[in-house]
Amino acid sequence: MDSRVSELFGGCCRPTGAAFRGRGGAAPGGGGGTKAKKKSGRSRGGKANNPPYLPPEAEDGNIEYKLKLVNPSQYRFEHLVTQMKWRLQEGRGEAVYQIGVEDNGLLVGLSEEEMRASLKTLRRMAEKVGADITVLREREVDYDSDVPRKITEVLVRKVPDNQQFLDLRVAVLGNVDSGKSTLLGVLTQGELDNGRGRARLNLFRHLHEIQSGRTSSISFEILGFNSKGEVVNYSDSRTAEEICESSSKMITFIDLAGHHKYLKTTIFGLTSYCPDFAMLVVSANTGIAGTTREHLGLAMALKVPFFIVISKVDLCSKATVERTVKQLERILKQPGCNKLPLLVTSDDDAVTAAQQFAQSPNITPIFTLSSVSGENLDLVKVFLNILPPLTNSKEQEELMQQLTEFQVDEIYTVPEVGTVVGGTLSSGICREGENLVVGPTDDGKFLRLKVCSIQRNRSACRVLRAGQAATLALGSFDRSLLRKGMVMVSPEMNPTICSVFEAEIVLLFHATTFRKGFQVTVHVGNVRQTAVVEKIHGKDKLRTGEKAVVCFRFIKHPEYLKIGAKLLFREGVTKGIGHVTDLQAITTKENGLEESLGPGQLSF
């Protein structure tokens, strides 16, 4: 599939040598300043990985350069605290300080005494705002001075006042038997695997999964980090509630199926749960096989940033592992991918990879590890601890100010609780006791309901904010009226539903010609339904690689869609992607009241 997407992704950022100029304590960004370039040739000792400058400091973002922070005045100290609050807000609770670096990126470095005083001031600043600091790394700068001078990179973390913890969602992809569930079991349980799959048993949800050793459903696992960057997981007999209480940052892993017959479940997990990142697991002894290419193509088609983990290195010789790494690098560099692979072999690489990965869409970190021996597992933990969120606080605020919209992805019946739905809040804020409407039903209606209680990561929560995943208890609401793909929205939203819609698509692969009357399974967010091609605008048929605007009609019941939503469709080996461009809104009925939705209400 990846060889077919070159037309669509040909405009991606191409890898450049400048992307890794900051590898010696790097802050992501653009090219270096003029002053820095003049000194770039004066480094002593021939340290190729320790350039004397970084990219200039950006006004936005969560990275701050400070030459030194020695004995500031009270006025200066208050200004520095305000600046720290801004950087924490930009990073949604996380900021990185580079001490010993000028604003233009020049690595000046500080003496031991100056660095000690600067870190003491930084610690005072963090205490003032209620944050914690962790030294990520120190590096010597050995040019223009006979006295050893250092730069220090520090992570500052503070959970925002309106959140219990920072939250990132990571989808886990890869071929069957590549070690996805075992790796998650080792990370979240804190115990190494015995080589026969013991670590994955706690992740399985069904008996047939335990018997076959293959994941067929979507499961969620959590890995926490406290304010000092230490791992918080199920070791020491912790419960999920204790992990949530002890963590300031939470990684929620979405364990997806690797077998091809469960592909629709994997696609649903990628489209509906809105992961921030994806982790592609590749077995070192089998390399790129089975659905690995397909999962890689799905992540790229949905524009989910991904990193790669090569597992089972304990089963292979060093030469076999190197061959698998080279095979991956070759695929990532192809025109269809345009990625720049970064092999992570040290803590220093892991810190750099986390910062560059979030800033540069064309960088792909690669880890090699073993879930049995524990080799390089700590590098993945360092990477996940530092990995920043993709959205900044401003984008988050804009989403929270919109009307409430919750996607229904899972439906349960819990004894003594009643009907429970799981999913993601796309926009707005949802509170306990709030009245919403859910739909569309098979006949296009929206039904009133009340949110009785909310849980996030298995612990109670009173308020849910945009971008967060949770389960909502609906009390005695009839479960038979609900289905996956529905939305719960604010009654004031006046939601648009449709059976017929248009989308601009790219046909990634089709064996013959794609024409009117062809049926495909369409995935749009949490919506998954068979649709028939009603019309191809301007053409009679489509072949592999061609673009067109196509009119689709759902064959079963209407759905709630939004203009601009990403679309993915498949049928056997036929695959295509695109986005929704127009909706033919239909009449909705709520509580016997009929309203006609006009074309002016197609988007929100």
Does 136 have pLDDT greater than 70?
yes
Token look-up 């609050």 returns: 85
Name, in order, each residue with C-beta under 8 angstroms of 421's C-beta and a sequence gap of 6 or more: 406, 408, 410, 411, 412, 471, 472, 474, 482, 488
What is the rounded average pLDDT of the residues 549-570?
Answer: 94
pLDDT of residue 213: 57
Band (379; pLDDT cuts 50, 70, 90): very high
pLDDT of residue 185: 86
pLDDT of residue 80: 95
Does 383 have pLDDT greater than 90?
yes
202 compared with 529, residue with greater pLDDT:
529
Quick: pLDDT tens for 492-523: 888 889 999 999 999 988 888 899 999 999 99
What is the rounded average pLDDT of the residues 527-549?
Answer: 93
pLDDT of residue 61: 83
Quick: pLDDT tens for 250-292: 999 998 887 777 788 888 888 888 899 999 999 999 888 878 8
pLDDT of residue 579: 95
pLDDT of residue 7: 34
pLDDT of residue 145: 64
Does 92 have pLDDT greater than 90?
no
pLDDT of residue 432: 92
Domains and CATH numbers, the chain: 63-158 (3.30.110), 166-390 (3.40.50.300), 394-489 (2.40.30.10), 497-585 (2.40.30.10)
Does 542 have pLDDT greater than 60?
yes
The number of residues in the chain equals 604
Q: Which helix (H) or strand (E) holds 240?
A: helix 240-246
187 compared with 36, residue with greater pLDDT:
187
What is the rounded average pLDDT of the residues 454-458?
Answer: 84
Does 49 have pLDDT greater than 60?
no
pLDDT of residue 33: 36
Residue 458 gets the label, from left (phi > 0), alpha (psi -120 to 50) or beta, of left
Which of 2-11, 76-85, 355-364, 457-466 is the least confident region? 2-11
Share of the chain above pLDDT 70, in %: 83
Quick: pLDDT tens for 204-255: 655 655 555 556 567 888 899 988 888 988 887 678 788 888 888 999 999 8
Tell whether the torsion through CA atoms of 297, 298, 304 and 306 is positive or negative.
negative
pLDDT of residue 9: 32
Quick: pLDDT tens for 110-132: 999 999 999 999 999 999 999 99
Which of 253-267, 319-333, 466-480, 482-496 is the least confident region? 253-267
* Mean pLDDT rounded to a whole number for the chain: 82
Which of 466-470, 572-576, 585-589 is the least confident region? 585-589
Beta-carbon count within 10 A of 261 CB: 10
Does 593 have pLDDT greater than 80?
no
What are 131-136's contacts with CB under 8 Å, separation 24+?
131/84, 131/88, 131/156, 131/157, 131/158, 131/227, 132/156, 132/157, 132/158, 132/227, 132/228, 132/248, 133/97, 133/157, 134/228, 134/229, 136/96, 136/351, 136/386
pLDDT of residue 566: 93
